[in-house]
Amino acid sequence: MATEYELIRHGKMNRLNIFVNRILYRSNHMHSDFELVYVLDGEGTITTQRHTYALAPGNIVFLNSNEPHDITGFDFGVTLLLIQFSKNFLQEYFPELSNTIVEDGNARRNLPPERYAALRKAMLEAGMEYLSGSAYFELTCLSLMATILRQLLSWLPKETISAEEYHRRDKQAQRMVRISGYLEQHYREPVRLADLAAEEGVTVTHLSHFISEHFGMTFQEYLNNIRFEHAVRIIGDHTLTLSDVSAESGFSELKYMTRMFENQLGMKPADFREQFAYLSPASAGDVSDVPADGPRTLEYYLSEEDGLRAILEARDR
């Protein structure tokens, strides 16, 4: 999928954000924060360049800073406890965190059973403390996060990169953001790789190799995926015909959009639209705080109250 750069807001605490999300489909994106994913309910997958992580209740996945990933929920979606923390989190005590790269984020596979059980408990407690906002929750969250990071960094395979390598990777991430931004602005047009190469001041060959290496697909595949993701966002608007959706999304013909839906979701656009209507906020009674763009994101943010309820239900199973 084309990669969106997501800006993380740390609301309640400096350099830390915790919330509960229900996801049917979250397109490929990245952000500068590390992210811990705890599956509260449902099944699905997280796909990165190097791994496909299975999502099932109780599974935990660690995602690196600026690591592109997409999330797919099966059936009625997957409910996730998400803990996002800055590269500079606890930097006064562990500055190496910003230069740490985890090579395999599957915590269940890499931690001993007793350590994994302790990690699950600490993450659930951190989620409850953060969402409840009880007295001294900030101190409790800091204590729990220190415990969580100690467990993860002790057992997950990782490498600590040099300052030079860190800056090299940061420059790569910045180029990925620029590429994504350019194509998000121009995907409705007949964009050429040469146009993008001129914007970046590099040769077509160099940029072609860069996109293939860092996005895991060719330039044309990348562009088509941006168009597909836009089609997914607007297909719930029944004032548009499928041909309108195709044209609005930059596909030259409806058959190309149809092919993308079949390849990515295993169904035709009309079938997806019918299923999409069923999964509207009105039918999802336990979902609240839907963003302004509504279900088009196929991602539902639970309120703090509903998030707490989801955590408690997972804890008590």
Give 298's pLDDT tier (boundaries 50, 70, 90): confident
The domains spanning 4-161+286-316 and 163-277 adopt the same CATH topology: no
pLDDT (tens digit per residue) in 20-64: 999 988 877 888 899 999 999 999 999 998 899 999 999 999 999
Mean pLDDT on 212-218: 83
Cα 107 from Cα 117, distance rounded (Å)? 11
**Is a pLDDT exceeding 60 seen at residue 290?**
no
Long-range contacts of 306-311 (CB under 8 A, 24+ apart): 306/20, 307/19, 307/20, 307/81, 307/127, 307/131, 308/127, 308/128, 308/131, 308/132, 310/20, 310/40, 310/41, 310/79, 310/81, 311/20, 311/40, 311/81, 311/124, 311/127, 311/128, 311/131
Q: How confident is the model at residue 294 (pLDDT cuts 50, 70, 90)?
A: very low
Tens of pLDDT along 123-143?
999 999 999 999 999 999 999
Domains in the chain: boundaries = 4-161+286-316, 163-277
Residue 70, SS3 per DSSP:
strand
CA end-to-end span of the chain, whole Å? 35
The dotted CATH code for 4-161+286-316 is 2.60.120.10
Q: Please, which pLDDT band fits residue 283 given cuts at 50, 70 and 90?
A: very low
Task: Tell me: pLDDT of 286 over 50.
Answer: no
Least confident of 8-12, 103-107, 227-231, 270-274: 8-12
- Contact assessment for residue 299 and residue 271, using Cβ atoms and an 8 Å cutoff: no
* Per-residue pLDDT at 87 exceeds 90: no
Can you give the pLDDT at residue 38?
A: 98
- CATH homologous superfamily for the domain 163-277: Homeodomain-like (1.10.10.60)
Mean pLDDT value of segment 202-210: 94
pLDDT at 66 over 50: yes
Out of 4-18, 103-117, 190-204, pick the least confident. 4-18
User: In the prediction, which pLDDT does 16 show?
Assistant: 96
Residue 282 has pLDDT above 80, yes or no: no
Q: What is the mean pLDDT of the chain?
A: 86
Centre a 10 Å sphere on the Cβ of residue 220 and count the other Cβ atoms it contains: 11
* Widest pairwise Cα distance in the chain: 58
